[in-house]
């Protein structure tokens, strides 16, 4: 037995968990039984109906569904009935705009209420909802909206200038809706596009709408996730994903009717959709949303003021809270907390131990991906924790470690983390890239791209990515996107980008830059390049370190060998260099 094991019997149990006996449930679990907790009609369903509308039609209708806190700590609250009404109005607005089933509607918003009911209204209409981080720059917007051929984009005044720059290259985008002051949208013109006040048009629409029933495999939402090469890829999820998101929120996050629940993720990330909109509301929990910047004291105040019971956040945030003054956490009554969970990147043991010290509760790590649509491996409230482990597979999930040929490996052996396909929230496709979708599968397995191993007790342990995607502060960043942004700067000829281990953020982005002849390297230029990327790509996707070099290691076909850059940076063996152009 692991000497550092955190025994469940030694942890405070304020309430009996939803999943009491993991072994028993895992052995007997069937997805067809889980689907009975979701409402179908003649074999059809709608994810938004199950998240909001059925709660607006039952005893929860006057229960608070959303506590919203603005950047300046302004407050609003919405019942299930009110959110349902607003989502119906948005569905009717899409009907007025002649948006039909499976057409794309994208949201470029901060965490304002319109993002949440707009997303739900899009699903009610049968259209496909797409979300984007408010930190994105014009090129990132253009890549996603352009590839998806979205017809409608919803944004806000503070973000409009970036939309305006991107929209000129988007011929299929027809309508831009701007939230906030109606005067802002007046007289705004972008060639070939109509710009309207979101609020003015919404207020004209009826609060009654007959939600469209969908086939379980009909697409519901899509998210773009970065890869190591090329543009971001659109991962599409179907309406049946609500089954998985509901069950995983129930078993892993332990959500129930009387909970006040805070997921700190942005809905531009799959966590914010699966566990801030769909799975959490389908379980009847009240959700807290904060539309402000990270600040330890503000976060603790929110937990105390709203008496948050379940808190789902990211390792980077936990480490930043840990770095705050020791006495800060003691100023607030955080006794309402009963379950803490973490996702986004591996959670190392120290933050788990700190959680025990600061809150009397450990953070429970879990693992999943944009492509999986829901939690697949987790630490559960009623299970012993092995600090540093991803946990054990969700009931209904068959996980294994396989070699490069898809053959299962035994305990203790490193290999590819793989899942047997067929879980309800598995991605439906990669938008317009069927060959990319097929590349995820080998034999009988979905191969995640993560390297891991499993111990004899069935706990899985993460080792690292098999590719070069950078996970910084819980968000995926493709090196190609950052390299492309850097090369746009007039001083730069070429750039290679890697993820460099960082104790606070998991990884930071480091760029190796070749300058044009005559350009002198300087610290001022490094700052300028970092700001350039932040402005043109995203606030989280800029290089925190930049090194000027004379040449980049490349293959004979011209592909930058990022593994060589990373190996040299970390003083690791370089490995085979036979395919390099020069080394």
Q: For the chain, what is the mean pLDDT?
A: 92
**Range name among 66-70, 209-213, 395-399, 482-486 with the lowest pLDDT average:** 482-486
Based on the domain organization, do 440 and 475 belong to the same domain? no
**What's the average model confidence in pLDDT over 220-224?**
97
Based on the domain organization, do 405 and 528 belong to the same domain? no
Based on the domain organization, do 432 and 477 belong to the same domain? no
Of residues 366, 290, 352, the one with CA closest to residue 322: 352
Instruction: For residue 513, give the CATH number of its domain.
Output: 3.30.300.30
**pLDDT tens figures, 314-323:** 988 888 898 8
186 token code pair: 């007046």
Tell me which of 480 and 261 has the higher pLDDT. 261
Please give the pLDDT value at position 451: 87
Taking 60 as the threshold, does the pLDDT of residue 581 lie above it? no
Please give the pLDDT value at position 575: 62
Based on the domain organization, do 428 and 301 belong to the same domain? yes
| Residue 255 is assigned to a structural domain of this protein | yes
Please give the pLDDT value at position 1: 33
| Residue 577 is assigned to a structural domain of this protein | no
Classify strands 339-342 and 363-367 as parallel, antiparallel or unpaired: parallel
Residue whose entry in the numeric block shows the structure tokens 């939230």: 179
Residue 473 region by backbone torsions, left for phi larger than 0, else alpha for psi between -120 and 50, else beta: left
Taking 70 as the threshold, does the pLDDT of residue 580 lie above it? no
* Longest alpha-carbon distance in the chain: 71
Distances (CA, A) of 181 to 17, 165, 529: 45, 21, 35
Taking 80 as the threshold, does the pLDDT of residue 418 lie above it? yes
Confidence bin at 2 (pLDDT 50/70/90): very low
Integer Cα distance of 231 and 50 in angstroms: 34
Spell out the SS3 assignment of 24-53: HHHHHCCHHHHHHHCCCECCEECHHHHHHH
**pLDDT tens figures, 451-495:** 899 999 999 998 877 777 788 888 878 787 888 789 889 999 889
**pLDDT tens figures, 359-379:** 999 999 999 999 999 999 999
Based on the domain organization, do 499 and 375 belong to the same domain? no
Based on the domain organization, do 420 and 474 belong to the same domain? no
Please give the pLDDT value at position 444: 94
**Range name among 300-304, 455-459, 555-559 with the lowest pLDDT average:** 555-559
Cβ atoms within 10 Å of 184's Cβ, excluding its own: 16
Please give the pLDDT value at position 23: 96
Taking 50 as the threshold, does the pLDDT of residue 186 lie above it? yes
In the listed set 405, 421, 450, which residue is the last one of a domain according to the structure?
Answer: 450
Contacts of 153 (CB under 8 A, 6+ apart): 105, 106, 107, 108, 145, 163, 167, 173, 175, 176, 177
| Residue 150 is assigned to a structural domain of this protein | yes
Task: Transcribe 119-132 into DSSP letters.
Answer: HHHHHHHTPEEEEE
Helix (H) or strand (E) holding 450: strand 445-454
Classify strands 445-454 and 415-419 as parallel, antiparallel or unpaired: antiparallel
Please give the pLDDT value at position 229: 64
Angle, CA of 568, 569 and 575, to the nearest 5°:
30
411 neighbors 455 (Cβ within 8 angstroms) = yes
Please give the pLDDT value at position 513: 94
Q: What residue numbers bound the domain in which 502 lies?
A: 470-569
Based on the domain organization, do 474 and 438 belong to the same domain? no
Please give the pLDDT value at position 559: 67
Integer Cα distance of 123 and 218 in angstroms: 10
Please give the pLDDT value at position 579: 42
Taking 60 as the threshold, does the pLDDT of residue 557 lie above it? no
The percent of residues above 70 in pLDDT, for the chain, comes to 96
Integer Cα distance of 460 and 454 in angstroms: 4
| Residue 460 is assigned to a structural domain of this protein | no
Taking 80 as the threshold, does the pLDDT of residue 106 lie above it? yes
Please give the pLDDT value at position 481: 81
Based on the domain organization, do 533 and 411 belong to the same domain? no
**pLDDT tens figures, 12-68:** 777 899 999 999 999 999 999 999 999 999 999 999 999 999 999 999 999 999 999
Based on the domain organization, do 413 and 520 belong to the same domain? no
| Residue 3 is assigned to a structural domain of this protein | no
| Residue 169 is assigned to a structural domain of this protein | yes
Instruction: For residue 156, give the CATH number of its domain.
Output: 3.40.50.12780
Confidence bin at 304 (pLDDT 50/70/90): very high
Residue spans of beta strands (DSSP E) within 343-414: 363-367, 377-378, 392-393, 399-402
**Range name among 132-136, 307-311, 335-339 with the lowest pLDDT average:** 132-136
Please give the pLDDT value at position 583: 35
| Residue 358 is assigned to a structural domain of this protein | yes
| Residue 462 is assigned to a structural domain of this protein | no
Tell me which of 105 and 189 has the higher pLDDT. 105
Please give the pLDDT value at position 248: 98
Based on the domain organization, do 443 and 528 belong to the same domain? no
Please give the pLDDT value at position 555: 61
Residue 275 is classified by DSSP as: I
**pLDDT tens figures, 137-153:** 999 999 999 999 999 99
The percent of residues above 90 in pLDDT, for the chain, comes to 77
Based on the domain organization, do 240 and 109 belong to the same domain? yes
Based on the domain organization, do 535 and 424 belong to the same domain? no
Tell me which of 477 and 283 has the higher pLDDT. 283
Taking 70 as the threshold, does the pLDDT of residue 430 lie above it? yes
**What's the average model confidence in pLDDT over 202-222?**
98
- Per residue in 455-480, is it b (16+ CB within 10 Å) or e — as a string? eeeebbbbeebeebbbbbbbbbbbbb
Number of domains present in the structure of the chain: 2
What global pTM score does this model have? Answer: 0.87
Taking 50 as the threshold, does the pLDDT of residue 71 lie above it? yes
Q: Say whether 228 sits in a helix, a strand or coil.
A: coil
Integer Cα distance of 247 and 243 in angstroms: 6
Integer Cα distance of 353 and 360 in angstroms: 9
């Amino acid at each position: 037995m692991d000497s550092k094991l955190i025994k469940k019997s030694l942890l405070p149990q304020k309430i009996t968990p939803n999943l009491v006996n993991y072994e028993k449930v895992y052995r007997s679990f069937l997805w067809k039984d889980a689907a009975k907790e979701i409402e179908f009609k003649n074999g059809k369903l709608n994810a938004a109906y199950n998240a909001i509308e059925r709660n607006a039609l039952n005893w929860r209708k006057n229960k608070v569904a959303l506590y919203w806190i603005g950047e300046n700590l302004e407050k609003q609250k919405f019942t299930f009935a009110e959110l349902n009404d607003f989502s119906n109005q948005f569905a009717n607005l899409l009907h007025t705009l002649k948006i039909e089933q499976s057409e794309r509607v994208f949201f470029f918003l901060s965490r304002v209420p319109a993002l949440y009911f707009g997303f739900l209204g899009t699903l009610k209409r049968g259209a496909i909802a797409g979300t984007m981080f408010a930190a994105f720059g014009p090129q990132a917007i253009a890549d996603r909206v352009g590839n998806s051929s979205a017809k409608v984009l919803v944004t806000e005044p503070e973000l409009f200038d970036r939309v305006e720059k991107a929209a000129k290259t988007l011929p299929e985008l027809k309508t831009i809706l701007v939230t906030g002051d109606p005067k802002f949208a007046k007289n705004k013109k972008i060639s070939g596009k109509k710009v309207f006040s979101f609020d003015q048009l919404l207020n004209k629409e009826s609060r009654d709408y007959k939600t469209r029933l969908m086939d379980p495999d009909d697409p519901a939402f899509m998210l773009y996730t970065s890869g190591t090469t090329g543009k971001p890829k659109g991962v599409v999820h179907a309406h049946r994903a609500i089954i998985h998101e509901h069950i995983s929120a129930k078993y892993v996050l332990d959500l129930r009717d009387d909970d006040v629940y805070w997921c700190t993720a942005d809905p531009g990330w799959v966590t914010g959709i699966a566990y801030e909109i769909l799975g959490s509301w389908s379980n009847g929990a009240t959700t807290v949303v904060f539309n402000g910047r990270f600040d330890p004291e503000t976060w603790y105040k929110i937990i105390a003021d709203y008496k948050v019971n379940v808190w789902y956040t990211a390792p980077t945030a936990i480490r930043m809270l840990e770095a705050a003054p020791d006495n800060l956490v003691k100023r607030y009554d955080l006794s309402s907390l009963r379950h803490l969970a973490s996702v986004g990147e591996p959670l190392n043991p120290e933050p788990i131990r700190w959680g025990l010290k600061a809150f009397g509760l450990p953070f429970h790590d879990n693992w999943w991906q944009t492509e999986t649509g829901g939690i697949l491996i987790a630490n559960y409230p009623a299970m012993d924790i092995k600090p540093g482990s991803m946990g054990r597979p969700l009931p209904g999930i068959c996980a294994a470690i396989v070699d490069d040929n898809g053959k299962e490996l035994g305990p203790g052996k490193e290999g590819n983390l793989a899942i047997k396909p067929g879980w309800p929230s598995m991605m439906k496709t990669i938008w317009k890239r069927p060959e990319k979708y097929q590349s995820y599968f080998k034999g009988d397995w979905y191969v995640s791209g993560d390297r891991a191993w499993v111990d004899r007790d069935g706990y899985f342990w993460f080792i690292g990515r098999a590719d070069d995607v950078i996970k910084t502060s819980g968000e995926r960043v493709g090196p190609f996107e950052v390299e492309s942004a850097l090369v746009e700067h007039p001083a730069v000829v070429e750039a290679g980008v890697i993820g460099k281990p960082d104790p606070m953020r998991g990884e930071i982005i480091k760029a190796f830059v070749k300058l044009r002849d005559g350009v002198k390297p300087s610290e001022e230029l490094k700052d300028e390049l970092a700001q350039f990327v932040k402005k043109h790509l995203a606030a989280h996707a800029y290089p925190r370190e930049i090194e000027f070099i004379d040449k980049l290691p490349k293959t004979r076909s011209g592909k930058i060998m990022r593994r060589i850059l990373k190996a040299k940076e970390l003083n690791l063996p370089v490995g085979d260099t036979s395919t390099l152009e020069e080394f």
